[in-house]
A = this chain, B = another copy of it.
Amino acid sequence: MTAPNYARVEALITDMRAGKRLALARLISKVENRDPDLHEVMRRIYALSGKAQIWGITGPPGAGKSTMVDQFAIELRKRGKRVAIVAVDPSSPFTGGAILGDRIRMQRHTHDEGVFIRSLGTRGKHGGLSHATKEVVLLLDSAGFDVILVETAGVGQTELDVLKLAQTVVVALVPESGDSIQVMKAGLMEIADIFAVNKSDRPEADKLVKEIITMVGLNDHDEKSWMVPVKKTEATRGVGMVELLDSIGEHQAWLGKTGNRDEKGRRFLKEEVLDILVERLERSLDGAFETRSGKELLEQLLRREIDPYSAADTLSGQ
């Protein structure tokens, strides 16, 4: 990796802290592209982070997540909060269109310096996107945004990884989505801090609310645990959004009071250190397989003369 440009990094961080959008956008690109300056950026901004509230919003396609995020942004701006929105699309770069299309609805925020929006797409392997996303959120946190909204679609491993970073996860569901909802609910049950049954004017909404309440009730509870609330919303008309924000506020208060915020922080930090070391390992292994002995080892593997576990021993010097 090329040496970082210390002066450039320092200047960009100073500008970012002064609210300059271009500097923030450049720093985010450095994180996304795993630029040579990346480590230096992360080393410097980390001490400035840790103040923002980080909310995750997820749910199946068509649940109205983007509209919900839009409404959150409007309401939070009324309350004088600076808001950053990170939309994560783990599928192919080609599919960026779906989320970018949603983003058109967000144009009302274009001239508002208090709202920052960024979409992130696929990068690398072994959790590359979730790692980059988590570091982008740390960067936005250090830039002074009060609330960072992380919007993901679906419940793949990448999305679940990304949501580990969020302090409060809102899962949006809609009535009448059939079997896929059954599937989603299960994977989402474990990560939801709050359920929002959106498009609740539709028939079957009350049935879905009851189903979720039943599922939530099946989890173990004691007086220390958080009772996952199920809220009804119509995001397009703004119905139920203030109540949903109140629930998020209650969850944030509960996190602080019970020590769960720190516990989530520890889990996130362990993951972040692991992600950093995995990324280094990937890089060093790519290099090792480019050497003469690495290439020979690969041919021996292909000919079944050595097995992958023994090859791993050789490469790690054991």
Contacts and interface: CB of A to CB of B under 8 A. Distances in A.
Contact of A266 (B158, B273, B302, B307): B302
Given A50-B304, A282-B274, A304-B50, A43 B262 contact: no
A25 to B, nearest CB: 22
A149 B81 CA distance: 53
A310 interface: yes
Q: Which of A180, A301, A308, A309 has the most CB of B within 10 A?
A: A308
A301 B46 CA distance: 9
Contacts of A298: 266, 269-270
**Chain A interface mostly helix, strand, loop or mixed?**
helix
A93 to B, nearest CB: 8
Contacts of A91: 155, 183, 186-187
B269 A308 contact: yes
Contacts of A274: 126, 281-282, 285
A316 B157 CA distance: 26
A3 interface: no
Contacts of A280: 312, 316
A69 to B, nearest CB: 19
Contacts of A90: 156-157
Contacts of A43: 307, 309-310
A78 interface: no
Nearest to A41: B309
The 8 A-B pairs with the shortest beta carbon distances in the complex, nearest first, are: A156-B156, A94-B186, A46-B307, A92-B187, A276-B312, A272-B308, A91-B187, A269-B301
